[in-house]
Structure 1
C-alpha cells in the first residue's frame, strides 16, 4: 500500500533525511580519519574521541530527548534537532583544531539524540494506522541506504574536496528536511512535567556506561579506567532510581517499568542487534588481516547485507504488520544465527562464503528492523511513543557495545583454547591457527546471542493484536 497524500510523503521524507544524516556521520568519520590526522595533526587518543564523542552523547541524551518529545511535541524536537545538527555540522566542517572538532562531534551527537526518537514517534502520530507499517519499512530502507553508501560517498567527496566537505555536504539535505518538517501536524502532547534533573542524571549514567563499554575491548575489563567508568555509571544509575522514586512525575514512569511486554521487546533488541555487528566485524577483520583484502574490496564483499535490507525491509515490515509480527521476529534472529554456518568456512580461506553469509544477515536484519520499530510504536501507550522509542534505541546501542566487549572476551578464549600464547593483543588479527580459534569463538558467540533473542519475540503477539 502506497502512502497517500503529499503531507504523509513530506513527513516520511523529513524523517528519512534526518536519520539518514545521522547514519552518514556515524559511518563517514572512519573513512576521512586519515585526512583529519594529516590536517589537524591529531594524536591517537584524539582520533578515538573524534569517533566516540558522537556515539557517547547520542546514546546518553536519547532517553531525555524522547521524553521531551512526548511532552513538548515530536515535531518541535525534530525541528530543534535538525537546526542543531546543521549548526554542529558547520562547526565540524570549520574546526580549526582537534579539540574543537571533538566538541563539535559531541554536539552532533546531542542533535542526533533529539532527532532519532522524534523521527520514529512521528511515524505513528502523523501517518494513518493502516499505512504505518509501510512507512516504517520505507524509513528503514532509506536509513539503510544512507549507512551503506556513506563510506564510499565520504571517500569520494573527501578525496576530491577534502574531509571537511564530506561532512558539510549533508547540510542541503538537512535544510530540505527542515522545510518538509514545517508541514508535520504536531503530535498530542503529554500532560506532565519534565524531570530535567532526572534527565541529567540518566544522561550522565548512560554516558559513563557507554564510555566504559567503548574502552572495554581495547583496554580489557580489569583496566582501572574501564572499571572506574562502569562502576561510576552503575552508581549514577542507582542515584537515578533513588531520584525517580521521589519525584512526583518521574522521567520513566512506573507504568513503563512494569510493562513486561515492552521490556521483553527491549531485551529482544539488545540481543538481536548484537549479531549483525559482531558478524560484520569478524568477517571484515578476517578478510583484511588474514586474507589480505583491502578496505575497498572488503566493503564490496560486505555490500550484500545492506542491499538485502534495502530491497526487502519495506515488504517484510508490511508483511509482519499483517498478522505475522511474531513470525518475523523469530525468523530474523534465526537467519542471523544461520549466517554463521557459511562464515565458518571463511577460516579456510573460502572467500565466496561471505556472500551467502551476508545475504542471510541482511534478510535477518530486514525481518527485525522495521517490525521491531513497528512493535514498539504499537505497544507504546499514547503519549509514551518518544520515551519507548528512545529506550529501544538505547537498547540497540547497548546491545552493539556489549557485543563488541563480549567479542573481545570470546576471541581471547578461542585463542587460548587453540593453544596460543598469553596476552595475544588483538586475538583476531593475523593468519594463524590461534587467530582461527579466536574467529571461530567469535562466530559461536554471535550465534548464541541471536538464538537467545528468539524467546523474547513472544512480546510481538500483543503488537499483532493491536495492528489487527
Structure 2
C-alpha cells in the first residue's frame, strides 16, 4: 500500500539515515583534536571509532528484525531518539571514558535506525515508485557521506571537535517530528528475535577488537592481546554453533552459505571494505599529523572519493544488468588496488594534486565499479526468501571489515614523524593486497551469476 505522505516519508528516512552516514565519516577528521583535548593514547583514539562501529556491526541485523517484529516506525523513531541523546552526551563528555560510552550508544542507535529507514521505504512504496524512492535514499546517503569529512573539518577548525556532535541534534529532532507526524506504522509479525546470536556476535567482535587494538597499538603480541584474540575466536565458534542450531530462525541462516557466490561476496566485502575503512581512518590522520593539513583541508582531500563514486555509480547499475556482476566486481577492486598503491607517493610537504589526488581518484573509480554491482550480486546469489537477510548481512560484514581494520590501524597511529609516513605506506600496500584478493575472489566465485532486478532489503 502506497504511503499517505510519500514525500514526507522519504524525507524522514533520508534525515534519519543521514545521521548515521555523516557520523560514520565526520569523526575521522576530528581524531587529532579529540586526542589533544582529552589526552588520548593511540589505542584510545582507535576506540573512538570502534566504540561506534562495534554495536553497529553486531546489531544491524537485529535492528532490522526488531522493526519487522515490533513496528518499523516505532523502531525508527526510537533509534533516532537514542542517537540524538547519545550525540548530546558525546558533545558534553568531560573525559574519554564518557565519550566512548556515548559513542557506543550512538552505534546502537544507528544499528536500529539504518535498517528501519530503508525497510520503511520498502513498505511505503510499490513498483517503480519504490525503486525511485530507494534510489533517492541511496543518492542522499552518498551525499551525506561526502559532506561529512569537509563539514567535520570546518567545524573542528572553526568551533571545536564537540560541534560535530551538536550538529546531529537539529537534524535528529527534525527526523523524529516528520516520522512521528507523517510515517505510517508497519510490521510483519516476524519470528522471535535471535538474542543469543546477537549477544554472541557482539561479545565476539568486542573481544577480537580489543585484542587487535592492544596488539597494534603496543606493537607487541602479549598475554592481554592473546587473551582477547583467543576469547574472540572462541565466541565466534559459539556464535556459529548458535546460528546452526537455530536454522531459519537465525540472524545469519546457514542456508545462505550454500551459495558459493554468496560466500565469495562475503569474503570480497570484508576484505575490500575493510581496506577502505582503514584508509578513511588513516589518511586524514596522516595528512593532519604528518602533512601539516588543517582539519578542513584533510576533509576536503577526501571529497573526490564519494563524489566520484556517486557520479560513476549511476552508470554501473544499468551496465551490471547487461554484463552481469562478475566482470565489474573483478575489475573494480583491481582499480582500487592501483589507487592504494599510488598513495605511497604521500610524503611530508608533498603537493596534494600529485600525491594524494591520483590515488583518491583511482579508488573512487574502482569503488564505483563495485557499489551497485555488489548489491545486485548479493540479491542474485540467494533465493528470494533470504534476500533481505542477505543484504543486511552484507552491510554488517562491510562495517565489520572497517571495525577490524580500525583495530589494526593503531600501528600507524602510534607512529610519529617520518615513522608515521613509513607506517602509512606499509598500510596502503597491505590495503592494495586485500583489494587484489577481492578481485580474484570475485572472478573465482561469481562465474555464471546473472543480475536480477534489485529488491530492497526488508
In structure 2, what is the equivalent of residue 99 of structure 1?
A: 97
> Given that residues 347 and 421 in structure 2 are in contact (C-alpha distance below 8 angstroms), is that contact kept between their aligned partners in structure 1?
no
Instruction: Name the stretch that deviates more: 172-181 or 321-330.
Output: 321-330
Matches for 1:405-420 after TM superposition, within 5 Å? none
Q: CA deviation at 1:94?
A: 3.9
2:76 to 65, 75, 78: 78
1:65 to 63, 66, 79: 63
In structure 1, what is the equivalent of residue 218 of structure 2?
A: 219
What is the alpha-carbon distance in structure 2 between the residues aligned to residue 267 and residue 358 of structure 1?
23
Instruction: Name the stretch that deviates more: 368-377 or 19-28.
Output: 368-377
1:20 to 18, 21, 32: 18
Are 2:447 and 1:445 aligned?
Answer: no
| Alpha-carbon distance change, 136 to 343 in structure 1, aligned in 2, over 3 angstroms | farther
> Given that residues 65 and 117 in structure 1 are in contact (C-alpha distance below 8 angstroms), is that contact kept between their aligned partners in structure 2?
yes
Structure 2: 5+ residue stretches without partners: none
In structure 1, what is the equivalent of residue 240 of structure 2?
A: 241
| Alpha-carbon distance change, 46 to 127 in structure 1, aligned in 2, over 3 angstroms | same
In structure 2, what is the equivalent of residue 52 of structure 1?
A: 50
In structure 2, what is the equivalent of residue 454 of structure 1?
A: 442
> Given that residues 54 and 107 in structure 1 are in contact (C-alpha distance below 8 angstroms), is that contact kept between their aligned partners in structure 2?
yes
| Alpha-carbon distance change, 67 to 166 in structure 1, aligned in 2, over 3 angstroms | same
Q: Which SS does the other structure have where 1:252 is aligned?
A: coil
- Deviations 1:181-211 (Å, cap 9, x if unpaired)? 4545556625422232332222222222233
In structure 1, what is the equivalent of residue 317 of structure 2?
A: 317
What is the alpha-carbon distance in structure 1 between the residues aligned to residue 424 and residue 274 of structure 2?
21
In structure 1, what is the equivalent of residue 336 of structure 2?
A: 336
In structure 2, what is the equivalent of residue 210 of structure 1?
A: 209
Are 2:377 and 1:357 aligned?
Answer: no
Q: CA deviation at 1:109?
A: 0.9
| Alpha-carbon distance change, 167 to 390 in structure 1, aligned in 2, over 3 angstroms | same
In structure 2, what is the equivalent of residue 229 of structure 1?
A: 228
Q: Which SS does the other structure have where 1:339 is aligned?
A: helix
> Given that residues 58 and 198 in structure 2 are in contact (C-alpha distance below 8 angstroms), is that contact kept between their aligned partners in structure 1?
no
What is the alpha-carbon distance in structure 1 between the residues aligned to residue 195 and residue 188 of structure 2?
17
What is the alpha-carbon distance in structure 2 between the residues aligned to residue 433 and residue 145 of structure 1?
30
Structure 1: 5+ residue stretches without partners: 412-423
In structure 2, what is the equivalent of residue 172 of structure 1?
A: 170
- Deviations 1:86-135 (Å, cap 9, x if unpaired)? 22223333435443332222111111111223334445444445466654
Q: CA deviation at 1:286?
A: 6.5
- Normalised to the residue count of structure 1, the TM-score between the two structures is 0.78
What is the alpha-carbon distance in structure 2 between the residues aligned to residue 307 and residue 104 of structure 1?
30
What is the alpha-carbon distance in structure 2 between the residues aligned to residue 344 and residue 156 of structure 1?
27
In structure 2, what is the equivalent of residue 306 of structure 1?
A: 306
1:29 to 27, 30, 33: 27
| Alpha-carbon distance change, 215 to 57 in structure 1, aligned in 2, over 3 angstroms | farther
Total equivalences in the alignment: 449
In structure 2, what is the equivalent of residue 399 of structure 1?
A: 401
| Alpha-carbon distance change, 281 to 114 in structure 1, aligned in 2, over 3 angstroms | closer
> Given that residues 308 and 366 in structure 1 are in contact (C-alpha distance below 8 angstroms), is that contact kept between their aligned partners in structure 2?
yes
> Given that residues 125 and 187 in structure 1 are in contact (C-alpha distance below 8 angstroms), is that contact kept between their aligned partners in structure 2?
yes
| Alpha-carbon distance change, 125 to 256 in structure 1, aligned in 2, over 3 angstroms | farther
In structure 2, what is the equivalent of residue 370 of structure 1?
A: 372
- Normalised to the residue count of structure 2, the TM-score between the two structures is 0.80
Q: Which SS does the other structure have where 2:93 is aligned?
A: coil
